[in-house]
């Protein structure tokens, strides 16, 4: 049966809204009586606020109110966090980074609010600052936070391990076997240090929030990836019942983790409360760059091998630059520690990951948290080892790769992909793009930190249209299309009849959040279960009417059938309920104990990736171009193939940005390029002319139809694959990202100097 044209259009309903400009994003929300907020930000990296005078600003015509640290005592809790209770709703006694919100002016127009900012006077009492993670570890380093208050099982399972009297807010270790002994026996020991900078999310829609109180009830529109986390934090900060807080998430103009957990919502809600008016705060992109970033890292690896190139032991020391507030940094450290092992069979491991505070923009989750940092180190080193031992890099990997079912750590789920096979596919695919074999390659496996907790409702309405309610957020990854496909399949209905409502905590059940590639799996299952529940109920109803067993019945588009007899939903409800109205509500909550799922061990699935590429270098200027790129991902099943491919392509180009251009740069505590002009992200001209994505589908994932989560892994191998290609083709090894033209030029000079 060919689908009518309208069906296809309906299937891509959200895309249709987006190409016509009708899609509503958080920054498009406007509510009656709304006032506009603008934020005054700290100009200094670390200081006590000696005086903050907002009298002139408050007196300006059109200014409604000014929120400052003086308002903190009016809050039920003046600080919040997800692992550590470290972040004041607005700077109180001191500021900890350039860009930290100091005051929020609410006015009738954005223009008045902006003018009022100039009228606020701040006197800083400067404190020594530290803008570098290594320096933050020094015994006499200035302390950003005098005390650490770690909170267990708040939104993440477990707890961070800060060290009192230091800037260390997370300390995580992995230890297996006997590394000392293995090193003694080893034929070769390699030790290298690799660095990875802080990187801006640069989601094209800046953070934007509208907050409105109606009596004691609060509604917040935000481009938040984790609406229920926002709801929970707001309930603490403002002492409100969860049921009195409604978080609505319209379309989100890109997230990548930068809108995960909680960001500016508590600040905007505090301003709305003080103003007694709905308040809108729409950041500029520049302000978003001062709101969060990926954690920078310095990673030292000491890897021991036997004569045949079999890895005997690995020692890893990871230092993460977490910025001024921990946010989800503690989880980043855990992930980096796991990811730095690589998908290799290594019996002896000693990995230590520390995350520290510095006087810089707070770190946060970013696509495959902690992964790119770790894989940059691990996969660069694999090639350095291969070169030193005169082994082909692909061969060295084959000698050490874990097979499907092998264990990276016994505390983690066994590997559910065949990376050796992926390597082979990558090699073939890149050769088929022309230009010979690849120059650089990298592999990766990462364990998405996914909490299997999320619910949904599937409502089958009388006219056969279906509403899906869930708190999974469309951040561009196309989750709505995936959910629609799952419901369509489970209920055997036309995709065109299914609508996925905006995430709304007032109507949709709890969901842990959109990130870590989890929506497809967890929300996919929740929606599948809810649809199944609806199906069971419908068949039950129909059985009583057809006077048969539910087993004889089946769902058909628009209704239920027994043999050739079809009953529309409307007729079914009419007969069952007495009027031709009503609905069937399917419900489901996926929990760690879900029947039929094995959620006991983490991760729920591995996200695996292979990247391979070729590069071209202008040896005079140091400018490097990626000419060919192939990414391979094992995604179990592509529920939405075009979407899956797009995710991988987007991830690889972000990876090119990470590899070649991106770095949030600091001098003397001041960000020097935290503006959209100075900070370079990839443009169309930076995309490889020949690129290809291979999706491996074995239907062996835990999600609906055997899908695994995806969308994050693709970024992992990019930088090391490029670095390895550069080394192979041009004989220069860069260990510090990004591989800027200047760094490459310096390395070339050294190479030529050494040669002469």
Partner 1 sequence: MLPRPFTYHRPTSLDEAVTLMARHVDDVSPYAGGTELLLAMKMHFADYEHLVDLKRISELRAVKRNGGTLSIGALATHAAIAADAAIQGSLPALAGLCGSIANARVRAAGTIGGNLCFAEPRADPPVLLAALDAQLCLISARGERHVAASQFITGALETVRAPDEILLRIDIPLTARSTRYERVVHGHRTVAGAAAVIAQDAHAAPRVWLGCVATHPVALPNAEAHVAANPGVLDNALTQAIASDIARLDIADDEDASADYRRHLATTVAIRAITATVEQEERA
Partner 2 sequence: MSSIHEITLMLNGDPVEAAVAAHTLLVDFLRDSHALRGVKRSCDMQVCGACTVLVDGRPVSSCTMLAVDADGASVVTIEGLGGPDGLDPVQEAFLEHGALQCGFCTPGFILATKALLATNPSPSREEIVHHLSGNICRCTGYQKIIEAVESLAR
**Beta strands 583-590 and 101-107: pairing type?**
unpaired
Binder of partner 1 out of 50, 152, 181, 672 (CB under 8 A): 672
Per-residue b/e over 340-351, b at no fewer than 16 CB within 10 Å? bbbbbbbebbbb
Q: Does 719 bind partner 2 (CB under 8 A)?
A: no
Tell me the HSE value of 193 on the side-chain side, using a 13 A CA sphere: 7
661 binds, among partner 2, partner 1, ligand FES, none (CB under 5 to 8 A by kind): partner 1
Give just the sign of the alpha carbon dihedral 591, 710, 508, 704. Answer: negative
Q: Does 582 bind ligand FES (CB under 6 A)?
A: no
Whether residue 711 contacts residue 476, with contact meaning beta carbons closer than 8 Å, is answered with no
- Strands (E) across 54-203 are located at 63-68, 79-80, 87-88, 94-95, 101-107, 121-126, 168-176, 188-196
Binding to partner 1 (CB under 8 A) within 79-118 occurs at: 110-111, 114-115, 118
Cα–Cα distance, 225 to 323 (Å, whole number): 21
Q: Does 677 bind partner 1 (CB under 8 A)?
A: yes
- Only one residue has tokens 């949904």, namely 456
16 binds, among partner 2, ligand FES, partner 1, none (CB under 5 to 8 A by kind): partner 2
Q: Does 19 bind ligand FES (CB under 6 A)?
A: no
Whether residue 365 contacts residue 371, with contact meaning beta carbons closer than 8 Å, is answered with no
CB of 504 to ligand FES, least distance (A): 22
Give me the 677-706 binding string for partner 2, x by CB under 8 A, dash otherwise: x---xxxxx-x-x-x---------------
Q: Please give the structure tokens belonging to residue 263.
A: 């960001």
Q: Please give the structure tokens belonging to residue 284.
A: 């500029």
Give me the 278-297 binding string for partner 1, x by CB under 8 A, dash otherwise: ------x-------------
Q: Does 665 bind partner 1 (CB under 8 A)?
A: yes
Q: How many CB atoms lie within 10 A of CB 431?
A: 15
Q: Does 363 bind ligand FES (CB under 6 A)?
A: no
23 binds, among partner 1, partner 2, ligand FES, none (CB under 5 to 8 A by kind): partner 2
- Per rule CB under 8 A, count of chain residues that contact partner 2: 58
- Only one residue has tokens 């006219």, namely 463
CB of 688 to partner 2, least distance (A): 9
Give me the 157-196 binding string for partner 2, x by CB under 8 A, dash otherwise: ----------------------------------------
478 binds, among ligand FES, partner 2, partner 1, none (CB under 5 to 8 A by kind): partner 2
Q: Does 684 bind partner 1 (CB under 8 A)?
A: no
Task: Name the residue nearer to partner 1 (CB basis): 573 or 679.
Answer: 679
Q: Does 652 bind partner 2 (CB under 8 A)?
A: yes
Q: Which residues pair with 560 in a beta bridge?
A: 555, 567
CB of 616 to partner 1, least distance (A): 16
Q: Does 680 bind partner 1 (CB under 8 A)?
A: yes
Cα–Cα distance, 655 to 657 (Å, whole number): 5
Contact region with partner 1 (CB under 8 A), list: 227-235, 312-320, 678-686, 720-728:
678-686
Q: Does 562 bind partner 1 (CB under 8 A)?
A: no
Q: Does 393 bind ligand FES (CB under 6 A)?
A: no
CB of 513 to ligand FES, least distance (A): 19
Binder of partner 2 out of 177, 254, 464, 582 (CB under 8 A): 254
Task: Name the residue nearer to partner 2 (CB basis): 391 or 687.
Answer: 687
Residue 325 CB contacts under 8 Å (≥ 6 apart), including other chains? 81, 86, 87, 96, 357, 362
- Strands (E) across 116-167 are located at 121-126
Task: Classify residue 624 by its DSSP letter.
Answer: E
Longest dimension (CA), the chain: 93
**Beta strands 623-634 and 690-696: pairing type?**
parallel
Task: Classify residue 717 by its DSSP letter.
Answer: T
Cα–Cα distance, 741 to 285 (Å, whole number): 26
Cα–Cα distance, 514 to 227 (Å, whole number): 9
Q: Which long-range contacts (CB under 8 A, 24 or more apart) does 417-422 make?
A: 417/445, 417/606, 417/608, 417/634, 417/696, 418/634, 419/343, 419/443, 419/445, 419/608, 419/610, 421/696, 422/608, 422/609, 422/610, 422/632, 422/634, 422/694, 422/696
21 binds, among partner 2, partner 1, ligand FES, none (CB under 5 to 8 A by kind): partner 2
Binder of partner 2 out of 202, 213, 238, 573 (CB under 8 A): 202
20 binds, among ligand FES, partner 1, partner 2, none (CB under 5 to 8 A by kind): partner 2
Give me the 90-109 binding string for ligand FES, x by CB under 6 A, dash otherwise: --------------------
CB of 473 to ligand FES, least distance (A): 14
Cα-trace Rg, the chain? 27
Q: Does 70 bind partner 1 (CB under 8 A)?
A: no
742 binds, among partner 2, ligand FES, partner 1, none (CB under 5 to 8 A by kind): partner 1
Whether residue 174 contacts residue 150, with contact meaning beta carbons closer than 8 Å, is answered with no
Binder of ligand FES out of 55, 59, 204, 683 (CB under 6 A): 204
Task: Name the residue nearer to partner 2 (CB basis): 278 or 476.
Answer: 476
Cα–Cα distance, 26 to 17 (Å, whole number): 15
Give me the 460-479 binding string for partner 2, x by CB under 8 A, dash otherwise: --------------xxxxx-
Task: Name the residue nearer to partner 1 (CB basis): 194 or 679.
Answer: 679
Cα–Cα distance, 747 to 734 (Å, whole number): 7
Cα–Cα distance, 611 to 652 (Å, whole number): 9
Task: Name the residue nearer to ligand FES (CB basis): 155 or 251.
Answer: 251
Q: Does 582 bind partner 1 (CB under 8 A)?
A: no
What totals of helices (H) and strands (E) does the chain contain, helices first?
Answer: 19, 30
Binding to ligand FES (CB under 6 A) within 248-287 occurs at: 254
Cα–Cα distance, 428 to 70 (Å, whole number): 63
Q: Does 671 bind partner 2 (CB under 8 A)?
A: no
| 271 three-state secondary structure | helix
| 244 three-state secondary structure | helix
Contact region with partner 2 (CB under 8 A), list: 11-19, 81-89, 296-304, 517-525:
11-19
CA separation, residue 441 to residues 386, 422, 424, 723 (Å): 12, 11, 11, 9
**Beta strands 296-305 and 188-196: pairing type?**
antiparallel
Contact region with partner 1 (CB under 8 A), list: 39-47, 62-70, 242-250, 741-749:
741-749
643 binds, among partner 2, partner 1, ligand FES, none (CB under 5 to 8 A by kind): partner 2
685 binds, among partner 2, ligand FES, partner 1, none (CB under 5 to 8 A by kind): partner 2
Q: Does 476 bind ligand FES (CB under 6 A)?
A: yes
166 binds, among ligand FES, partner 2, partner 1, none (CB under 5 to 8 A by kind): none
Q: Does 24 bind partner 2 (CB under 8 A)?
A: yes
Contact region with partner 2 (CB under 8 A), list: 506-514, 576-584, 646-654, 723-731:
646-654
∠ CA 504-508-511, rounded to 5°:
95
Q: Which residues of this chain interact with partner 2, rule CB under 8 A?
A: 12, 14-25, 27-28, 201-206, 251-256, 282, 284-286, 474-478, 642-643, 645-647, 649-654, 675-677, 681-685, 687, 689, 691
Q: Which residues of this chain interact with ligand FES, rule CB under 6 A?
A: 204, 254, 476
Q: Which residues of this chain interact with partner 1, rule CB under 8 A?
A: 110-111, 114-115, 118, 284, 620-623, 661, 665, 672-673, 677-680, 740-742, 745-746
């Amino acid at each position: 049966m060919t689908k009518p044209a309208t069906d296809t259009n309906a299937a891509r309903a959200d895309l249709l809204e987006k190409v016509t400009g009708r899609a509503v994003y958080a920054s498009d929300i406007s509510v009656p009586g709304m006032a506009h907020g603008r934020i005054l930000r700290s100009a200094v990296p670390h200081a006590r606020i000696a005086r903050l005078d907002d009298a002139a600003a408050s007196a300006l015509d059109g200014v409604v109110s000014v929120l400052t640290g003086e308002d903190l005592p009016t809050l039920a809790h003046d600080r919040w966090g997800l692992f550590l209770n470290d972040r004041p709703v607005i700077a109180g006694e001191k500021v900890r980074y350039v860009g930290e919100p100091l005051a929020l002016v609410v006015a009738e127009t954005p223009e008045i609010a902006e003018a009022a900012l100039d009228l606020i006077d701040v006197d800083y009492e400067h404190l020594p600052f530290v803008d570098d993670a290594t320096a933050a570890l020094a015994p006499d380093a200035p302390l950003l936070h005098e005390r650490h208050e770690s909170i267990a099982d708040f939104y993440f399972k477990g707890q961070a391990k800060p060290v009192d009297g230091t800037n260390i807010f997370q300390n995580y270790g992995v230890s297996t076997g006997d590394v000392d002994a293995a090193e003694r026996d080893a034929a070769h020991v390699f030790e290298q240090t690799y660095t990875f900078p802080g990187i801006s999310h640069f989601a094209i829609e800046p953070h934007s929030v509208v907050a409105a109180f109606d009596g004691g009830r609060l509604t917040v529109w935000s481009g938040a990836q984790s609406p229920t986390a926002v709801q929970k934090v707001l309930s603490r900060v403002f002492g409100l019942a969860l049921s009195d807080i409604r978080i609505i998430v319209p379309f989100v103009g890109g997230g990548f983790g930068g809108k995960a957990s909680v960001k500016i919502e508590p600040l905007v809600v505090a301003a709305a409360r003080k103003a007694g008016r709905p308040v809108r705060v729409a950041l500029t992109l520049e302000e978003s760059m001062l709101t969060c970033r990926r954690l920078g890292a310095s990673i030292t690896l000491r890897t021991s091998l036997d004569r045949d190139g079999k890895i005997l032991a690995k020692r890893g020391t990871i230092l993460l630059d977490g910025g001024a507030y921990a946010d989800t940094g503690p989880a980043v450290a855990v992930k980096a520690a796991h990811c730095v092992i690589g998908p290799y069979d290594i019996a002896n491991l000693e990995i230590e990951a520390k995350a520290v505070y510095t006087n810089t923009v707070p770190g946060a989750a970013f696509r495959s948290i902690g992964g790119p940092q770790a894989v940059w180190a691990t996969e660069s080193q694999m090639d350095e080892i291969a070169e030193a031992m005169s082994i082909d890099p692909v061969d060295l990997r084959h000698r050490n790769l874990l097979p499907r079912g092998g264990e990276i750590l016994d505390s983690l789920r066994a590997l559910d992909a065949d990376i050796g096979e992926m390597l082979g596919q990558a090699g073939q695919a890149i050769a088929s793009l022309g230009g010979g074999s690849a120059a650089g390659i990298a592999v990766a496996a990462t364990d998405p930190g996914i909490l299997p907790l999320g619910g949904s409702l599937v409502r089958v309405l009388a006219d056969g249209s279906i509403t899906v309610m869930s708190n999974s957020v469309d951040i561009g990854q196309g989750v709505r299309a995936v959910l629609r496909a799952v419901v369509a399949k489970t209920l055997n209905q036309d995709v065109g009849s299914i609508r996925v409502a905006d995430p709304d905590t007032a109507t949709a059940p709890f969901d842990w959040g959109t990130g870590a590639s989890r929506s497809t799996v967890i929300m996919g299952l929740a929606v599948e279960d809810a649809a199944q529940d609806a199906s069971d109920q419908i068949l039950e109803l129909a059985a009583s009417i057809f006077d048969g067993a539910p087993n004889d019945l089946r769902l058909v588009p628009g209704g239920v059938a027994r043999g050739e007899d079809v009953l529309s939903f409307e007729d079914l409800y009419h007969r069952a309920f007495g009027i031709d109205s009503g609905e069937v509500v399917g419900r489901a909550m996926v929990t760690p104990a879900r029947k039929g799922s094995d959620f006991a061990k983490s991760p729920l699935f591995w996200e695996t990736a292979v990247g391979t590429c070729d590069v071209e270098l202008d040896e005079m200027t140091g400018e490097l171009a990626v000419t060919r790129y192939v990414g391979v991902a094992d995604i179990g099943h592509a529920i939405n193939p075009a979407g899956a491919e797009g995710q991988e392509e987007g991830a690889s180009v972000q990876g090119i940005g990470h590899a070649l251009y991106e770095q949030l740069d600091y001098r003397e505590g001041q960000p020097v390029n935290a503006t959209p002009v100075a900070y370079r992200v990839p443009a169309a001209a930076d995309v490889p002319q020949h690129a290809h994505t291979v999706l491996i589908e074995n239907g062996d994932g835990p999600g609906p139809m055997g899908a695994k989560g995806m969308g994050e892994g693709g970024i992992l191998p990019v930088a090391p694959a490029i670095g390895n290609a550069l080394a192979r083709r041009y004989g220069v090894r860069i260990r510090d990202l990004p591989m800027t033209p200047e760094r490459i030029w310096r390395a070339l000079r050294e190479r030529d100097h050494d040669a002469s």
